Amino acid sequence: MKRKWMAMFLAMMLGAAALTGCGNGSGEDSQGQGKSESEQSDQENENIVVVADTQAPTSLDLAQSWDSWYTSRWGITETLYMLDENLEPYPWLAESCEMKDDTTWEITLRDDVTFQNGKKMTAESVKACWERTAGINARFNEVLYIDTMTADGQKLTVTTTKAVPAFLNGLCEPLTGIIDVNDGGDPAAMPIGTGPFQAVSYEVKSECVVEKYADYWGGEPKADGAVIHIIGDTSTLTMAQQNGESDISVSMPGASMELFTDNSQYNVDGVAGSRGQVIYFNYGNPVLQELSVRQAISMIIDKDSYASIINKDASVTTTGLYPDFMAYGAEEGDGYQYDLEGAQTILEEAGIVDRDGNGIREFHGEDISLRLVTYSTKAELPLFCNEISSSAKKIGLDIQVEVYESVTEHQKTGDFDLMMISSTMCPTGDAQYFADITLKSGGSGNYGGYSNEKVDELIEQLDVEYDTEQRTELAKEIQKEVLADAGYIVIGHAKYYYVMGANVQGLHTNPSEYYLLNKDVYVE
């Protein structure tokens, strides 16, 4: 009886296998072979880099949403300027970019850049591309603030609607990347960029295949092509790297890192980026208007342990607000040190004590109970919040953690006492962005209503200052003021890192999250 069932089961499976095999056609089957065969074909002629990531764009059209970040990572599109490892812009598709006056820029493009269809990139093509992007994506207008564009040969003259000191940084944002919009093809499926790799196919949220563009202006790419697998689950991502199916993994969870410590097999390359874990205080709450309470909360966070133990070294400690590695990062000794006793002393001195002996300090006769709001899509945030809640109890503060799928609504309505979010603080390497939207009174990302006259004054200076050194000094000054005020807490900055097979060559992590595949990457 049992055997009969087994036989039927097997027959079913085989039948299904045969049918499905037929239905899929040869295109998928060529990749559907086992591991050994793909290795074999690698050895024969093809050098294919297999990348696995958990996140994916909705199309390959760089104008859509944040899809440009992916076309940039996958080596399809490039920008006029690029960010180096210190997030400083340097010329890439452009030779130079000169400021004529506060609102006029003259960009000179390289003469040797061709699109992947062989056509030359000119100022006219850049203009056409940006016009298209601006028409599709409202965010574009907040990156470059372009008013008019005049194209002449390789020279593009741009006027802006306001002074944009961070214009060069804006030219690094992948959204300002260049594709040939006069090609006639569909940029969503087959964008014609200038990068070392050309899109072959993209199955949305499943798989993207790119092949090298042999006439790439920077020289012929070393790899013949790449396959990018989009894997939704982090356990799957981990295992695919473990058994060698993927050469490079992006977004590996911190918990898996200890599986990749064997240097003979794996190479983990990571640098801290500008994505910070930021705590916002709600200044509408009288308790949080007390400097001593904010200072005490700043002191119960053992930033080093958060980064090394909870986040398994997937983030680094931040002394002040901006990433330590930036020119305007805080110096050692700035900010607040982990000191539970010190935190208690500060509260005692401010007269915030536990009179009724229930373990919780009172403020104007009422137990201090605060709601710490965060969201679940960044795995470390709820864990950090739990740790804060647990430590707060030790100094007599009650902090209740609330985790949501998204905190957008809380940001809008101010329905929180404390809020922790993960935010890219210097997306284009510039300090102004975070200062403008978060630190300034009334900034669009100043959800807790932080307001400090001195800080506002400094930010206004920063907004119109063009000298780099002066800007750095101003940013440092701003940071110092906010820290003295315990206005915000930044726990650390997430590392952006790749887990690679030891045989992957030519790849170094850049903190910007903009780049991945380049002409030098290949698999040995």
Partner 1 sequence: MKKGKKRDYAFGILIVLIALLILIAVFAPILAPNDPYNTDLMAAQAGPSAQYPLGTDSLGRCMLSRVLYGARLSVFSSLLITGIVFCIGVTIGSLCGYFGGIVDAILNKVITIMQAFPQIILAIAITGIMGIGIRNTIIALCMVLWVDYARLSRSFVFSVKGRNFIKAAKICGESDLKIIFSRIIPNIIYPLIVNASLGIASTIMEIAALSYLGVGVEEPQAEWGAMINLGRNYIQTDLKMVLIPGVAIFVTAAVFNLFGEKLRDRLQ
Partner 2 sequence: MVLHKIIMQLLHFVIVLLGISFLTFSILFLSPRNPAELWLAGSDGNVGMISEEAIAEQERIMGLDKPFLVQYGTWLGKALQGNFGISFTYNTPVTEEIAKHMGPTVWMTVISLTVTILLAVPLGVLCAVYKDQLLDNVMRIFSFFGISLPSFLTSIIFLWFFCIKMEWLPVISKGGAIGILLPSVVLILQFVAKLTRQVRAIILEQLEQPYVDGAITRGVKFKNILFGHVLKNSAAPILTCISIYVGLAFGGSAVIEGIFSVDGLGRMAVSSVARLDIYVIQGFVLWVAIVYLVVNLLVDILSAMIDPRIKYNRKSGGGS
Task: By CB under 8 A, tell whether 120 contacts partner 2.
Answer: no
Among 406, 441, 470, 503, binds partner 2 (CB under 8 A): 406
What sign for the dihedral angle of Cα 87, 89, 92, 93?
Answer: positive
Q: Which long-range contacts (CB under 8 A, 24 or more apart) does 87-90 make?
A: 87/274, 87/326, 87/426, 87/428, 87/429, 87/511, 87/512, 88/429, 89/168, 89/169, 89/171, 89/172, 89/428, 89/429
CB of 423 to partner 1, least distance (A): 19
Residues numbered 446-465 forming contacts with partner 2, rule: CB under 8 A: 447
Among 65, 104, 159, 182, binds partner 2 (CB under 8 A): 65
With H, G, I as helix, E, B as strand and everything else as coil, classify residue 276: strand
Instruction: Give the one entry of partner 1, partner 2, none that residue 286 binds, where binding means its C-beta sits below a cut-off of 5 to 8 angstroms depending on kind.
Output: none
- Residue pair 73/49 in contact (Cβ under 8 Å)? The answer is no
Give the interface segment with partner 2, choosing from 27-35, 100-108, 124-132, 164-172 (CB under 8 A). Answer: 27-35
Task: By CB under 8 A, tell whether 20 contacts partner 2.
Answer: yes
Here's the x/- map for partner 2, 125-164, by CB under 8 A: it reads as: ------------xxx-xx----------------------
With H, G, I as helix, E, B as strand and everything else as coil, classify residue 459: helix
- Provide the binding-site residues for partner 1, judged by CB under 8 A: 234-235, 238, 253, 255-256, 258-259, 302, 305, 309-310, 376-377, 379, 382-383, 385-387, 389-391, 393, 401-405
Residue pointed to by tokens 């609504």: 409
Between 336 and 450, CB nearer to partner 1:
336
CB of 114 to partner 1, least distance (A): 44
Q: What angle do CA 412, 370, 360 make, to 5 degrees?
A: 175
Pure H helices in 197-233:
none
CB of 240 to partner 1, least distance (A): 13
**Using CA atoms, how far apart are residues 291 and 486, in angstroms rounded to an integer?**
7
Q: 143: burial class by Cβ within 10 Å (0-12, 13-18, 19+)?
A: buried
CB of 381 to partner 2, least distance (A): 10
Task: By CB under 8 A, tell whether 34 contacts partner 2.
Answer: yes
* DSSP conformation letters of 398-438: EEEEEEES--HHHHHHT--SEEEEEEES-TTS-SHHHIIII
Among 51, 67, 396, 517, binds partner 2 (CB under 8 A): 67
- Residue pair 168/81 in contact (Cβ under 8 Å)? The answer is yes
Task: By CB under 8 A, tell whether 188 contacts partner 2.
Answer: yes
The contact set with partner 2 (CB under 8 A) reads: 5, 8-9, 12-13, 16-18, 20-21, 23-24, 28-29, 31-35, 52, 55-56, 58-59, 61, 64-67, 69, 137-139, 141-142, 188, 203-206, 229-233, 235-236, 239-240, 242-243, 245-246, 375, 377-378, 406-409, 411, 421-424, 437, 444-445, 447
